[in-house]
A and B are shown apart, each in its own frame.
Chain A
Amino acid sequence: MKRRDFLKYIGAGVVGTGAGLAAAKIASPPGAKLIPYLIPPKDMIPGVATWYASVCRQCGAGCGILVKVLEGRAKKVEGNPLHPVNKGGLCARGQSGLQALYNPDRIVGPMKRSGDRGSGRYTPISWDEALKTVAGKLKGLSDDGNADKLWLVSSSERGHLGKLAEEFMSAYGSKNHIEYDLFQNKNLKYAGGVTVGTEDVPFYDIENTKYLLSFGADFASTWLSPVGLSHGYGQMRQGGGKKSKRGVLVQVEPRMSLTGANADKWVPARPGSEAILALAIAREILAKGYYRGSNAGAWKTLLAPYKLASASKATDVAAETISKIAYDLAKTTPSLVIGGDALSSYKDGISGQVAVNILNHLAGNIGRKGGVLINPERLLKAGKRAILKNQKMTRFIDASLAGNAKALIIDNTNPVFTIPKSSKIMQAIREVSFVVSFATFIDESSAMSDIILPTNTFYEDWGDDFTEPGVGMGVATIMQPAVAPVFKTKSRGDIYIALAKAQGGKLADKFDHGTFNKYLKKSWKKLYNSNKAMANSALTFTDFWNRLLENGGWWPKSTPRTRTRNVSVASVKNYLPKAAAKFEGDKSSYPLNLLVYPSTGMYDGRGANSPWLQEFPDTMTAVVWGSWVEINPKTAEKLKIKEGDTVSVSTPSGSIELPAHIYAAIRPDTIAIPIGQGHTQYGRIAKDRGANPLEILPFIEDKKSGELALNSTRASLSRKGRAKKGSDDSLVRAAANNFEYGRDYTKIISPAEFAKIGKEDV
């Protein structure tokens, strides 16, 4: 389907107030009546699909989506081809969002706790009662002069919902607003602040690069902005027409990720030594005189300790490989270095991300097409809640254990599942006398609350997102309800407004927005009035707003402006690692490094309640419906572990049992476990399935950035037995094996041969 045709469809849907119109008229739940529409809503023709443009919130990337709606029900989600981030593509999790909307275990109405905290036993109550109870508790707290003992832990929200929540907290009188998600790229942001002076994540122009060096950045499955970066990857490989050279990918990581599987060279450096490797490459660039920038002398002195020979020993990477990477990186223009979760989730992970930026600087990639593009300031400024040190979960845990948290709001995030047990997060929540959750599901965190206020999913709600990273220019994406709420749920924004209203006095006066929808529109009017490019793009605000809903957002038409930034020696000198990262657990009792990673389907665990994602064969292993631990064949042989055996993985912080998967592409001294399974709540599909590796990690939160050091422990492995075939604890793969038996299904052509034929002109 061509863009123009899409627009026609969307356009049809946004007569007047867009989805709001349909939303208001659809009986809830849809389809309850035999003849639902005697007078059908304006934008609904039976049998003809209406497409609503909105934003995907299955991860932090913020891809633009189009939701196909037939007779008031969402049938399919597709990437919005106009959207500059994902350009029409979507990932498997984005596709599966509909199974969150129509999940059989959604919370259908407000509830109050009737069992112990964590038991997940609740009785239904009315919205009136629920809001009254919560508002009453908050009122009581502030009347006692304890307003500052209210805590809010929410998912990270870059749009107006986050702003509203921040306004709510400060008007109420509490500074305790933490935005928490497991993957927030905090070290990456912090390192950006140190090196290039902005904590906004830059745009990595993979599409136009010719040499991509990635330190554990798994953008093919989950990292940063998977769809956008994968689009770039496809273009780097075979886009750009006949004359364009094919870009090369080198991936450094101890366990081959999906991205690593696509690399031209996979470099399995010793875990924790990646930053050293990066700096040794940097030193090589200087030593060989490839560096063209200023201050070469100072850089040389700074990087002198990272000698080739010693680095080769520390990293377990051949000296020739290091030299070759240095040569290719410096001599290929443009080149690009990126650093992902694997690099930054060691202790002192900031140093790794700083090293990545040093490399980009030395290779001349910052501010260059095909390199690192600094994003302009965001269209909606990030508030205090986005300051890294405010986002640390230890703030809440310490305060609560010291008796300084009397009430807690958990809004759409699941810290109990994603923060290691050793953090005492459970005790901290138990200490709070009143806990309320704004949630769509009873998950491990909302199960700890006294009252649950059920919220809309992003298909049923208004909102917006100011995408980070942008694409070298600011991107704002709008969220509009594609369908009416399936159950008795409310907009998160409306809940904040209702709670503020009920407090009376000044707080209520400040929150006279009416509904969140009105607040959103009003705020956008302000943006429109203050932003020249926006104002020039439409005659009136109404025009602008309608176009916003049609296109799914607003972004400048221009191509990204390149801003060069220099990384200075002075800025980085305190961030260089002295030695490879340290790990918990001594080598004799815990001989293996444990690596945990977000799996393609489950991400941080939120995918686990989708039947599609459970049955989605994991991209690298083809495992379905469960967890596994990846073991190198040699290591497995030594420990007498066979494919599918149940093994116990122990760390100083605990142990879990799960089936073994023999994985050829992992270092013999490393094992890896995907994150996402092992839920104790979260509905029938997710519950009691597999194991959660986060449970056995030490809790190490970076003092500066607040990032969790997930890969900072050693582990031991022992065989426990074997689960019954096909049982819940067994290992089931959707593929019989990984061999071609000489049938040559996947044909290849060597790079040298390919250079002779070149790309196709499409």
Chain B
Amino acid sequence: MSKKTKYIDPADRKTIPERIKDQLAAYRVPGYYEKFDYHWTMVIDLDRCNGCGSCTTACYAENNLPVVGKSEVGIGRHMGWLRLERYVEGEYPDVKVRFLPVMCQHCDSAPCELGCPVYATYHNQDGLNVQVYNRCVGTYTCATYCPYDVRRFNWYTYKWDTPLEQQLSPEVTIREMGIMEKCSFCIQRIRGAKDTAKDDGRRRVKDGEVSPACGQSCPTGAISFGDLNDPKSRVSILAKSKRRYNLLGDLNTRPSVIYLRRVQEPLHASAGHETGMAAAHNTIAEHGSTADTAHAIKDTHGKKTQDGGH
């Protein structure tokens, strides 16, 4: 094929600022502050999760998380952005255990964002709660405001014994003493996926094309990730599940993480205490999918929680 340069009338030629503007318009949907470009959402199916903890380690590897050592963990300075909680109830032999992976919930009404005096944490056009490290001055305000206890503070500048530092990823900033950090939904991976989409001449990232490190690693497929703005995405389908709930939903923080209830016989149900199951039946009938759980005693507020999609 002969290479012929297309003639462009000088009148139609655009200045560089104009071109940047065009590109930005192509990249961000105008009015994104009302409806995000993407609404990145994570759905965690607690009935799939078997508590293997692979997700927590994957996060360490992906995001350059420091290891703090035994005594520091002992005083609550574990740096994991994603922690696996385990809850145990009952007495031998009737013991129930439940697991709960908890990371930053990327709330749309994020309490942490209100407190920061220097706007180091804010909401971006994708609905992510982001942390700007070089803006952070370490007031610790956000961490005290966060009801999920997912923000992690760098009490020291942590070191890696050589050659462990060779593993550190150049795609993620290494934090220093005095900086607050937390789960970013692996923003570097999201950026990567957007770049790939752009290079391929696509406007949008396809469903399933991007997953944070935790979801990528999860053996059971418990963690799904995608765009809630896309009605056909996996998370959109899962978000409609009758099992959905938000962690501490009654705080109305409007999290971007949705949990799906684990299927489990309530404690003592087998011993003839039918109350639990009856209660579950009632609450689901009364409040629809967002209703409270099978534990009758706990379901006292009787209000509809505010996690019903947005």
Contact = CB atoms under 8 A, between A and B. Distances in A.
Interface string A701-742: 000000000000000000000000111101010111011101
B219 A612 contact: no
B261 A748 contact: yes
A29 B241 contact: no
Interface in B276-310: 276-277, 280-281, 284, 292-295, 297-298
Contacts of A624: 70, 73, 78
Interface in B78-107: 78, 80, 83-93, 95, 97-100
B70 A732 contact: yes
Contact of B263 (A266, A611, A754): A754
A734 B73 contact: yes
A2 B53 contact: no
A266 B95 contact: yes
Contacts of A744: 292-293, 295, 298
Contact of A90 (B58, B73, B97, B276): B58
A78 B259 CA distance: 24
Interface in B243-293: 243, 245, 247-248, 259-266, 269, 276-277, 280-281, 284, 292-293
B265 A264 contact: yes
Interface string A751-762: 111100100111
Given A76-B61, A235-B221, A612-B57, A102 B163 contact: yes
Contact of B264 (A666, A742, A748): A748
Given A90-B58, A738-B88, A749-B294, A268 B93 contact: yes
B51 interface: yes
- How big is chain A's contact interface, by range? 35 or more
Interface stretch (A194-202, A336-344, A615-623): A615-623
Given A95-B58, A266-B93, A600 B219 contact: no
Interface stretch (A224-232, A362-370, A462-470, A578-586): A224-232
B298 A742 contact: yes
A619 B52 contact: yes
A747 B220 CA distance: 19
B57 A30 contact: no
A613 B161 CA distance: 15
B219 to A, nearest CB: 3
A757 B100 contact: no
Given A1-B210, A762-B237, A73 B166 contact: yes
A262 B242 contact: no
A664 B70 contact: no
B219 A615 contact: no
Contacts of B74: 725-726, 730, 732
Contacts of B45: 234, 238
B193 interface: yes
A231 B166 contact: no
B11 interface: no
B52 A104 contact: no
Contacts of A615: 67-69, 73, 78
A665 B88 contact: yes
B57 A762 contact: no
Contacts of A102: 163-167
A562 B217 CA distance: 30
A600 B55 CA distance: 13
A79 interface: yes
A75 B263 CA distance: 37
A266 B88 CA distance: 14
Nearest to B277: A750
Given A77-B61, A258-B51, A611-B164, A89 B217 contact: yes
Interface string B34-75: 000000000001111011111011101110000111110111
B50 A220 contact: yes
B120 interface: no
Given A612-B57, A619-B84, A726 B75 contact: yes
Nearest to A93: B57
Given A29-B163, A748-B262, A762-B237, A230 B88 contact: no
B2 interface: no
A611 B56 CA distance: 13
Interface in B110-140: none
B278 to A, nearest CB: 10
Given A5-B209, A77-B61, A261 B97 contact: yes
A616 B53 contact: yes
Contacts of B89: 739-740
Contacts of A285: none
Interface stretch (A185-193, A431-439, A542-550, A626-634): A626-634
B205 to A, nearest CB: 10
Given A31-B166, A89-B54, A745 B87 contact: yes
B184 interface: no
A239 B71 CA distance: 42
Contact of A738 (B69, B87, B217, B292): B87
Contact of A633 (B80, B92, B262): B92
Most chain A CB atoms below 10 A, which of B46, B71, B90, B163 = B163
Contacts of B221: 89, 231, 234-235, 239
A173 to B, nearest CB: 41
A266 B280 CA distance: 23
Contacts of B98: 746, 748
A76 B84 contact: no
Contact of B216 (A88, A238, A246): A88
Contact of A612 (B67, B70, B213, B237): B67
A256 B95 contact: yes
B208 interface: yes
A743 B50 contact: no
B203 interface: no
B103 to A, nearest CB: 14
A626 B50 contact: no
Contact of A625 (B70, B168, B269): B70
Given A2-B208, A615-B78, A234 B220 contact: yes
A165 interface: no
Nearest to A317: B93
B10 interface: no
Nearest to A665: B95
A745 B245 CA distance: 10
A283 interface: no
13 contacts: A75-B169, A78-B216, A98-B61, A98-B167, A228-B219, A238-B260, A246-B47, A266-B95, A625-B73, A632-B92, A732-B73, A745-B248, A762-B224
Interface of A: 1-2, 5, 29-31, 47, 70-71, 73-79, 86, 88-92, 94-96, 98-99, 101-104, 220-221, 226-228, 230-231, 233-235, 237-239, 246, 256, 258-259, 261-262, 264, 266, 268, 486, 600-601, 611-617, 619-620, 622, 624-626, 632-634, 664-668, 684, 725-728, 730, 732, 734-736, 738-740, 742-754, 757, 760-762
